[in-house]
A = this chain, B = another copy of it.
């Protein structure tokens, strides 16, 4: 028997940022869209590690959060396209800052963590899908 329930403080700017860009594939999706890869099927080809379903979910959240927009063409077979909103610009800057830091920290990070994991990650693979 437990007593408490779930909080989640979204009055804090930092938590909002994490909420918006923290999803597993979101940064990747944004990078691709900014590159011009804008249709769901193309995005899926570009990020084959994730299923189309999952990418869809993450795109929906990005849309809900005002980072991307979706245009649905009422044709068959279906066609839809994503584009970045004007809010996305500032997000991409933040992402760049994060990425830049992470790149610089990569070596230290792996040195520190290699002993605690059992050699289980992808190594240097997927550089292209890296956002």
Contacts and interface: CB of A to CB of B under 8 A. Distances in A.
- Contact count band on A: 35 or more
A109 B65 contact: yes
Nearest to A98: B17
Contacts of A106: 11, 13, 16
B13 A112 contact: no
A64 B130 contact: no
A73 interface: no
A124 B91 CA distance: 23
Given A18-B22, A97-B97, A98-B94, A108 B66 contact: yes
A129 B130 CA distance: 34
A14 interface: yes
A7 interface: yes
A16 B102 contact: yes
Contacts of A131: 12, 14
